Copies of this chain bind each other. A is one copy, B any other.
Amino acid sequence: MTATLADVAARARVSPATVSRVLNGNYPVAAATRERVLRAVDELDYVLNGPASSLAAATSDLVGILVNDIADPFFGIMASAAQSEIGGGPGAREKLAVVCNTGGSPERELTYLTLLQRQRAAAVILTGGALEDPDHAAAVAAKLGRLAEAGARIVLCGRPPLAAPAQGPVAATLTFDNRGGSRRLTEHLLALGHRRIGYVAGPEERTTTRHRVEGHLAALADAGVPPGPLVHGSYDRRSGYDAANELLRLDPSLTAVVAANDTVALGACAALRDRGLSIPDDVSVAGFDDLPFSTDAAPALTTVRLPLHEAGARAGRLAMGKEQLPPGGIATFHGELMVRGSTGGTRA
């Protein structure tokens, strides 16, 4: 049926070992022999048997990229950038960069890690915020340890470092300064004169959520302004819509709403518009991430730009061992405040 390495060897009149050597290019092979082998490969339309190869070599060319929501460009952009550094290169052995969608479910996260371990993945990139549940964190840390033992390189991207003891197996951590970005965003609102600011937070028990809330509260505390109402929700538009209505119910005098991310912010905007409120004249709205569509909203969204592409690309290179991180293995990416039309001064 399908051609095997032995078939190629027979056709090229060499031993299977020699074929293996030219295919892997790690051993010296005479130019003439190599030529003959490659021709045979071509003529037989031979494709290496991955499982057999992985079994013998005890490693595979699979690189897993875990994302919380593949339909969200926040993850799509990072994954795309990472993947282009992994699968793209015309270099030696191609790696198969694959993205695994956990949907934010802890069980699925663990399932995927197990499946990647089962496949003897060469590397694993975990993107986005982590769940803060201690049990789950421990389970993930254990799995990562197991993966690293088996030779997988572990990279965290857009995710905070693991707790000290668990950080061991992690080769590199690229983290976003969510706290700082959030703080600057709220400072911007305060500078505009806002004193009653509502907050639409992301899902509870997530590092990203907590850090962004902390930055917000820190800015308020520094200014001596009491926090406004806060509600939690998921990272979708609908959640932002509902949350904005809830915030206004809790405090009808709000003059600004800060959202967990841009998608949520757009949902909040829709809710405000549906109530006949004008943005930013009646209420200012701000998001986070600066996804491509944020600038097309009505009005354009004030937000914090995260270097998603850069972080993803770097994570890809780290996973391939094409780049080393400075001592400590942790790099922090900062966000940039993008002031646009959705925030403005309070009414006189």
Name A residues whose Cβ lies closer than 8 Å to a Cβ of B: 1-2, 45, 47-55, 60-62, 64, 69-73, 76-77, 79-80, 83-84, 87-90, 94, 96-103, 105, 107-108, 111-112, 114-120, 146, 149-150, 237, 263, 266, 269-270, 292-293, 295-299
Contacts and interface: CB of A to CB of B under 8 A. Distances in A.
Contacts of A270: 295-296
B103 A80 contact: yes
B102 A88 contact: yes
A295 B273 CA distance: 13
B296 A118 contact: no
A25 to B, nearest CB: 16
A146 B88 contact: no
Assembly stoichiometry (copies): 2
Given A61-B115, A79-B101, A297-B298, 10 more contacts: A45-B146, A50-B51, A70-B70, A76-B76, A80-B101, A84-B101, A89-B108, A96-B116, A266-B293, A266-B296
A64 B97 CA distance: 11
29 contacts: A47-B118, A49-B120, A51-B51, A51-B52, A51-B55, A51-B120, A69-B80, A70-B76, A71-B80, A72-B76, A76-B76, A80-B103, A83-B101, A84-B101, A87-B112, A88-B112, A90-B107, A94-B111, A96-B98, A96-B100, A96-B115, A98-B98, A98-B99, A99-B101, A263-B292, A263-B293, A266-B296, A293-B296, A296-B298
A119 B50 contact: yes
Of the listed residues A1, A103, A117, A293, the one surrounded by the most CB atoms of chain B closer than 10 A to its CB is: A293
Contacts of A62: 119
A125 to B, nearest CB: 13
A346 B89 CA distance: 48
A114 B51 contact: no
Contacts of A72: 73, 76
